[in-house]
Amino acid sequence: MQSFKSRDGEILRVALAQMAPVWLDRAATLDKMLDFMGQAVKAECQLVVFGEALLPGYPFWLERTDGARFNSPLQKEIHARYLQQAVQIEAGHLEPLRQFAKEQELAIYFGCMERAGDRGGHSLYCSLVHLTSSGQIASVHRKLMPTYEERLSWAQGDGHGLKVHRLGAFTVGGLNCWENWLPLARAALYGQGENLHVAVWPGGRRLTEDITRFIARESRSFVISVSGLMGPHLIPDSFPQRELLQGNDEEWWADGGSCLANPDGSWLLEPLCGQEKLMVAELDYRKVLEERHNLDPAGHYSRPDVLQLRVNRQRQSTVALKDA
């Protein structure tokens, strides 16, 4: 295997961290993420990616506990717990990750439930956060449209985080879960030069195996899909009314499915299901250049005189304060 340090940074070593959260426990889940990040450093990776809403967990209870019932005491109780364990960036909840990234020079993409201070601090946003290898928060992308039952728990995001970032020879961007099916969201990243796409998911091969290869073939980019894991056996004892969620025969609600596609749509890492694991691969930037020969959707195979996309990247807020 060729060393990732050769060819002036054209080889990027990446880690896909397929793990289960310590459900609705922010501190314990952070500790677990740090352990996976330590494994990525030992594997000489420059980038590690975690799944959607991992910190502190995806709201799997909604479809299993009559989540649409209005004014339900049970739903209120669980939602309050969710808010308490969510990430408040302004409160320093991401400091352990930032410090580790800086000390180990490791870039990170991960999904979290953000309790956004600039929107009042009492609503949840499904956010994809990018930490640079210097420990800086480079972007926080709030999911544009929560999917189906997610709308019972999450608020709509905005375009502020539709950004790409340099990582060696690569330009990396990312989207949350079913956002990856939105053609214009993908186009917003392609147009900024993206050639390494990060897609994060709550978990499930049925979610990742088609769209991952499709995006790779459409964009001629590497595509990393990282999923979480969760099932009834992983519900902590402290979860409200946990017996309501354990009364079925399901082994997994989310069984992983993390995978990685080459720019021609072939598998570099096929979907992995049913186990926690750090998956490692090397990406060769020359493969991007080779596949852009016959198709470049934002370059020679585009017609901006006919079709253009306008993107609003302003962070949305209900209040614009102006002090004297």
Q: Which token pair is 122?
A: 């009492």
Active site annotation includes 112: no
What's the pLDDT score for residue 8?
64
Q: What is the rounded CA–CA span in Å between residue 141 and residue 158? A: 8
Residues 71, 39 contacting (CB under 8 angstroms): no
User: Residues 32, 143, 163, 287: which is the catalytic one?
Assistant: 143
**pLDDT digits (tens), the chain, 324 positions:** 334 444 567 999 999 999 999 999 999 999 999 999 999 999 999 999 999 999 999 999 999 999 999 999 999 999 999 999 999 999 999 999 999 999 999 999 999 999 999 999 999 999 999 999 999 999 999 999 999 999 999 999 999 999 999 999 999 999 999 999 999 999 999 999 999 999 999 999 999 999 999 999 999 999 999 999 999 999 998 887 788 888 767 889 999 999 999 999 999 999 999 999 999 999 999 999 999 999 999 999 999 999 999 999 999 999 888 897
Active site annotation includes 273: no
User: Residues 112, 126, 177, 273: which is the catalytic one?
Assistant: 177
What's the pLDDT score for residue 241?
78
What's the pLDDT score for residue 250?
83
CA atoms in the 13 A half-sphere facing the CB of 139: 21
Q: Which token pair is 89?
A: 């960036």
User: Residues 45, 52, 209, 218: which is the catalytic one?
Assistant: 52
Residue identified by tokens 């999923």 is: 227
What's the pLDDT score for residue 242?
84
pTM listed for this prediction: 0.95
- What is the CATH architecture of 9-291? 4-Layer Sandwich (3.60)
Active site annotation includes 251: no
